[in-house]
Amino acid sequence: MNDKVGSKTVLSYLYVCPSNKRKIMVLTDPEFESSVLISSDEGASYQKYRLSFYILSLLFHPTQEDWALAYSHDQ
């Protein structure tokens, strides 16, 4: 997986979309870098999105595969 997300990326959580099992979201460890990695091809490739806040909890929408709900203490 290092060749897909980077060898220095520390991963914290992996989420699989309930309506499309090929879609995956991975949260990085915010102690190192706060970002979310999204794959639409079962992890063959990822798109990385850097965040300016720390995600504490993340949920896919049960039917809309491109929607997610994230919770953070940051304002």
- pLDDT by residue for the chain (75 residues), tens only, comes to 545 555 566 777 889 999 999 999 988 887 788 889 999 999 899 999 998 888 888 889 999 999 999 888 865
Supply the DSSP symbol for 2: H
Sorted by where each begins, the domain ranges of the chain are: 2-71
Residues 38/24, Cβ–Cβ less than 8 Å: yes
Of 4, 24, 30, give the one whose Cα is nearest residue 65. Answer: 24
Give the H/E segment covering residue 73. Answer: none
3-state secondary structure of 5: helix
Q: What is the pLDDT of residue 17?
A: 93
What pLDDT, on the 0 to 100 scale, is given for residue 64?
Answer: 92
CA 66, CA 34: separation in Å to the nearest integer?
A: 20
Return the pLDDT at 42.
92
> Residues 65, 19: contact at Cβ < 8 Å?
yes
- The confidence score (pLDDT) of residue 2 equals 47
